[in-house]
Amino acid sequence: MKATDTGRGANGHRDPQAPLLQYLSQKIDRTPGLDLGSLTADQVADLADAMVRVIPRSRSSSAEDRMLDAAGPFYDTPTLTTWLGITRQALDKRVGQSRLLGLSTSKGPRFYPTRQFTDEKEIVSGLLDVLKALGAGSANPWTWATWLAGHPEVYGGRSGWEMLHAGEAEIVLRKAQHDAARWSQ
C-alpha cells in the first residue's frame, strides 16, 4: 500500500486510482459497524459497478458518449434510489414533475447528474428555476445538462453547476433566461 500513499504505482508513474483508493480505505476505516466480511462476491461486484458508474469517463467518439462526458458524472437509477432511499417510481415521479433532472439515453437507462445534489441529498438551490427557464427555450434535458456544465468564460472559470453550488443561482438564472430566449427565436 506504499504506492497508494504516494500516488505512484510500482513503475513510478502517477497512479490515478491511488487517491480514490486511499480515500475509500480511510472512509471505510472511519465508518463504524461496516461488516465487509459478510459481503458476497455479487455484492462486491455490485458495489464496484455502482462506484465506477459515477466516475467521469474519458472522451469517446460517439456523440452520445461525448454528451455523457460533458454533462456527467452521473448516478444511475439503482444507485440514486438507494442513495435517496426512494423507489424507482418515486424517482420517475420527481423527473416527470421537473423536480429532478433525469437524462434518458438511446440505450435505455436514465442517468442523473450528480452535481444537482448537495451533500445532504437535496437539489441544489436555484436549479429548478434554472431548469424551468431553460425549458422555455429547449425541451431537451440533455441541452440543459450540458448548458449547466459549460460557460466557464461567463462565470469566471466556473461552470453553471459550480455557480449554483456557490450560491450564485440568480446569476445562473439570468443567463439561462437570456439563452433560452435566444434559443426560442
Asked if residue 102 and residue 44 are part of one domain, the reply reads yes
Asked if residue 86 and residue 13 are part of one domain, the reply reads no
Residue in this structure with the C-alpha cell 455557480, named with its chain if needed:
163
pLDDT band per the 50, 70, 90 thresholds, residue 106: confident
pTM score above 0.85: no
CA distances, 112 to each of 43, 48, 115, 121, 170 (Å): 23, 18, 9, 13, 23
**Residue 64 predicted with pLDDT over 60:** no
Average pLDDT (150-159) is 82
Asked if residue 84 and residue 47 are part of one domain, the reply reads yes
Q: Are 160 and 151 in contact (CB under 8 A)?
A: yes
Average pLDDT (82-105) is 93
Q: How many domains does the chain have?
A: 2
Q: Are 144 and 104 in contact (CB under 8 A)?
A: no
Average pLDDT (85-102) is 94
By residue range, what is the domain housing residue 101?
A: 35-183
Asked if residue 39 and residue 20 are part of one domain, the reply reads no
